[in-house]
Amino acid sequence: MRITLTPSYQLTDQHPASSYGQPVLVNRGSGEAFGPGDILTPYPSWGMMPARNVVRRMAKTAKLTDEERVSVAGFVNFGK
């Protein structure tokens, strides 16, 4: 599944960094992948934060299906 969160980022389980169906956050421009606890600066104005917080913030404004929201919740809550 590929979930477009913003034009620059998607959540997907179809990336080599994904394992056992656990999605990763992917920067669509660079192809760099992030797990839930990885720290990144998605946009300069957002500052540094864990990828789970990035996904949570992006999902608030993304138009997602119920199935996509379940996948987002799984990423956000993974390892908690």
pLDDT tens across 5-35, in order?
A: 999 999 999 999 998 888 999 999 999 999 9
> What is the chain's alpha carbon radius of gyration, rounded to the nearest angstrom?
11
Rounded alpha-carbon distances, angstroms, from residue 46 to 20, 22, 33, 57, 79: 30, 25, 18, 10, 23
Q: What is the mean pLDDT of residues 33-60?
A: 97
Instruction: Print the domain residue range for 8.
Output: 2-77
In this prediction, residue 73 carries a pLDDT of 94
Number of structural domains found in the chain? 1
Predicted TM-score (pTM) of the model is 0.93
Whole-angstrom distance, CA of residue 49 vs CA of residue 66: 26
